[in-house]
Amino acid sequence: MGNQVEKLTHLNYKEVPTADPTGMDRDEGPRIGVSYIFSNDDDELEQQQDSVHDLGGENPALQPYDPQLQEVECSVYYRDECIYQKSFSEEDTLPEEGDEGGGGHLSTYTPENLLNRCKPGDLVEFVCQAQYPHWVVYVGDFQVVHLHRLEVVNSFLTDASQGRRGRIANQLYRYKPLSPAVVVRNALEQVGCKDRDLSWRNSECFAAWCRYGKREFKIGGELRIGKQPYRLQIRLGDKRSHTLEFQSLEDLIMEKRRNDQIGRAAVIQELS
């Protein structure tokens, strides 16, 4: 049984069990998302090594990066409330000179440029082709706090970026943020926490918890029983979308991050 449960955490969309034993979804309604209860999001370890190999040995951070080509547009709902949204179509501001792709709050910047934009308490998302997004909390004086290789550490922003472009990610989640001072305090108080003492499965959950203070971002913060209250709506283009349902925000974030890592083209191919 243990092996069967572990296998379930690595299924693709076509292998996810449906209500129909023939494997057909006749009503084209939402599907139940995969549970990641036994999975780890190794966004800084083996995945980066695999990415370098997949790109012919070159550092992915040095590859040209266009957010609109690489990233998956999606919305996250808790019951009927939208709690997260990433959409390029709603942006009507142009990127500044020297910025690549996207507009408004989804524009990406070099680490050096980000230093001129960040304020204490801001969340920063570093993005790169074929890698998990890496989230950090800016705490001032050019420094950030982030979950890196199973430890919460304090680093310079430029070091934490590892050469990747990034964006200020304050507007992605729709929760009401804590005050900047509390966000910074939350982050700094966790520095040095590692391994089994960690309460977060990945850098995004840690950074979001620091800013919003919600237990849903923590490991085991919600019971996985009953109906799936969370929905991940993935936009496929041409007014088409695909919806997955999850029992916890933690599981949904893991799936969303997997989509970001494999890229928009691969997600569309999986769902076609």
pLDDT in tens, 105-134: 789 999 999 999 999 999 999 999 999 999
Task: Say what the pLDDT of residue 242 is.
Answer: 96
Average pLDDT score over residue span 160-178:
97
Q: Is there a contact between 105 and 167 (Cβ–Cβ < 8 Å)?
A: yes
Average pLDDT, the chain: 81
pTM (2 decimals)?
Answer: 0.80
Band (pLDDT 50/70/90 cuts) for residue 222 is confident
Confidence check: pLDDT of 40 > 90:
no
Confidence check: pLDDT of 249 > 90:
yes
Tokens of 167: 């964006």
Please report the domains of the chain, with CATH numbers, ordered by start residue: 2-271 (3.90.1720.10)
> DSSP letters of 162-220?
TT-EEEE-TTTB-SPPPPHHHHHHHHHHTTT-BGGG---SSHHHHHHHHHH--GGGSTT
Task: Say what the pLDDT of residue 269 is.
Answer: 93
Confidence check: pLDDT of 90 > 60:
no
Task: Say what the pLDDT of residue 62 is.
Answer: 60
Task: Say what the pLDDT of residue 31 is.
Answer: 60
Average pLDDT score over residue span 165-172:
96
SS3 266: helix
Confidence check: pLDDT of 93 > 80:
no
d(CA 13, CA 228): 17
Confidence check: pLDDT of 261 > 70:
yes
d(CA 255, CA 78): 15
